[in-house]
Structure 1
Amino acid sequence: MKVQNARRWAPTGPRAWLFAALSLLLASAVRGSLHPVLGPASPGFAFCIAAALIEYFFGLAPALTVMTVGLVIADYLFVPPYGDLTYFDRSDVTLLVTYPLITIVVIVLIERLRRAQYRSELVASVAQCRYEILLRSDNERLLARRHADETHRLLRELTHRRDQLVFIRAVNPTPLANDPAAVPAIAPEVVPGTRPATRSLGNGLQAGDRFDAVHPADIERVLTVLTPGAHRVRLLTAAGDYRLTDALCERFTTPAGDFFILRLEA
């Protein structure tokens, strides 16, 4: 991947130049404090270190400025005759050759390393963004597949076990499911000419084939709790009395909302 912005890793603004000036002052103070010990030896080492540090934190332009100004300060203060730039001898030539050469090599190496580091960070950020996009798309695909599976399961429940269906209740429906006719729209007449599997009672409740055969108190109890699982309800028999019957409440999560279906086990 070709990254054009890798060369723009360094921060910009007056802060970089302020630190460049402070590094020159600090390098001059360090070299001046060591001057009684070193004398004319290594006049530019402190400025070379200062330029390398500025390059690492603030980039190429401030570092080259520190190197250039440091060369003048080192030649003026720490190369004999001290305090005189008009006199030019072998010490000046040595400083003019060795100090810029070493400093430029160090600066260029640091610049390349910093660009490579910044490029790696940019590539990692792009890869992270792409991974998040792919992960989000994969999650949406899985969610859509789950909704489709739940809708198909709901349709099979309404068609294959309609003779055992007691009721279907819509919970947290979408605006479409707020319409009393929305639940039948999920499971329209499967076979042309047949009656619908449910009839609307309003408020998201649809009555099934066995709704009238179940004791009203049991229906109210199940609707109050409305949790998936096994239930015991009283079913009206042909003799006119009620007997306990096993029922099962299931939950279906579809794009139209959540639906609870209560059906008889036998």
Structure 2
Amino acid sequence: MSAKVFETKDVQDLLKAAANLNGGSGNARFQQIVHRLLGDLFKAIDDLDITPDEVWAGVNYLNKLGQDGEAALLAAGLGLEKYLDIRMDAADKAVGLEGGTPRTIEGPLYVAGAPLREGVSRIDVNPDADAGPLVIHGTVTDLDGKPLAGAVVECWHANSKGFYSHFDPTGAQDDFNLRGAVKTGADGKYEFRTLMPVGYGCPPQGSTQRLLDGLGRHGNRPAHVHFFVSSDNSRKLTTQFNIEG
């Protein structure tokens, strides 16, 4: 095993210099975060005796991750987004905010600007012979069950091939296929008329799946639909549901 060097003055001085911690310029919050994360990495190298070959394999992996454009996908796949949800749930509970629809991760494939309609929106812009119809409807209420008028419900999901519009490598979908937004009326009701999505996996040759393979994990997700719900007098809700089967 290599010698332990993390606690030495040389390493601690290196960390401060790398983050410009006492440099008198730069963004103090950014410096604080870089100093901590870099320190955690240095300590992990020390504690786990990570070899130079393993370090450079990690650096090369990050290069490939960027080339694949999968950093956000990896954040979801490794539980980073879920951890943020857990922290926000705990913060809510600490100040007595409980109840309502649970928050769930946004994922990396939301696109702003979907058409906004009143009450009902048909979002299957492109025909899909392999997908049957799906109607999603409900009521937006406050925690007391009172309908919220003027709330905006945004919805997005994949097609029968597991691809989202804007991110479809086949180019088969219009920009806002299977994406839409509805503003609720006085009754708080919304409805989306769409097509049934399917489950899908990470790109099989991509960097995220490569990492999951190394962990012995699959990269598959069940069919699901994403939502944002926002209102002038309420906090924004980010959630989704999985489709049984």
Asked which structure has the greater CA Rg, the reply is 1
| Same fold (TM > 0.5) | no
Q: TM-score, normalised by structure 1?
A: 0.20
Bigger relative contact order, structure 1 or 2, given CA contacts below 8 A and separation 6+?
A: 2
* Structure having the larger proportion of residues in strand: 2
* Structure having the larger proportion of residues in helix: 1
